Structure 1
Amino acid sequence: MHFLLLGASGRTGQHVVSELLSPGHTAVALVRTSSSLAPRPGLTVVTGSPLSKSDIRNAFLATSPLSPSATIITLNTVRKLDSPFAAQISPPRFLADSVGNSWDNLPWLSKVFLGWTNVKYALEDHDLVDKEIRLTNMDWTLVRAVRLRFDDQKLADAKTEVKLLGSKGEGMSFFDSVSVASMASFLVNVAVKGLFIRNAVVMAG
Structure 2
Amino acid sequence: MSSAMHILVLGASGRTGQLVVSEALRRGHQVTVLVRKAKSFEPAANLNVIVGTAEHKEDIVHCFQGNYGKPTAVITTLAAPRASNSPFAKPLVPPFFMRDCMKNLTDVMREQEVTKLVVLSAFGVGNTFQQLYLPLRILFRYTNMAVQFEDHDAVDAHVRETGLRWTLVRPCMLKDETSKPLRILDEKTSELGMFASCTRANVAEFLVNAAEVQEFEKKAVVIAN
In the alignment, what sits opposite 1:128? 154
Structure 2, unpaired ranges of 5+: 103-125
In the alignment, what sits opposite 1:200? 220
What's the CA shift for 1:159? 0.5
Output the aligned Cα RMSD. Answer: 1.2
Looking at structure 2, the residues matched to 110 and 20 of structure 1 have their Cα atoms a distance apart, in angstroms, of 33
* Identical positions, percent: 40
User: What TM-score, normalized by structure 2, do the two folds share?
Assistant: 0.85
In the alignment, what sits opposite 1:51? 55
CA shift digits 1:7-49 (9 cap, x unpaired): 0100000000111001211110011121222222111000011
Contact 1:105-1:171 within 8 A present in 2 as well? no
SS of alignment partner, residue 92 of structure 2 = coil
In the alignment, what sits opposite 1:96? 99
Aligned: 1:176 with 2:180: no
SS of alignment partner, residue 165 of structure 1 = strand
Task: Provide the aligned length of Structure 1 versus Structure 2.
Answer: 198
Structure 1, unpaired ranges of 5+: 150-155
Contact 1:165-1:172 within 8 A present in 2 as well? no
In the alignment, what sits opposite 2:83? 80
SS of alignment partner, residue 8 of structure 1 = coil
Q: Identify which range, 22-31 or 32-41, moves more after superposition.
A: 32-41
1:29 to 22, 27, 33: 33
Contact 1:107-1:172 within 8 A present in 2 as well? no
User: What TM-score, normalized by structure 1, do the two folds share?
Assistant: 0.93
Which amino acid is the alignment partner of residue 190 of structure 1? A
What's the CA shift for 1:53? 1.2
Aligned: 1:69 with 2:69: no
After the TM superposition, list the runs of 4 or more consecutive aligned residues in structure 1 that deviate by more than 3 angstroms.
none
Looking at structure 1, the residues matched to 184 and 148 of structure 2 have their Cα atoms a distance apart, in angstroms, of 23
1:116 to 142, 156, 164: 142
In the alignment, what sits opposite 1:153? none
Contact 1:168-1:201 within 8 A present in 2 as well? no
Looking at structure 2, the residues matched to 115 and 90 of structure 1 have their Cα atoms a distance apart, in angstroms, of 18
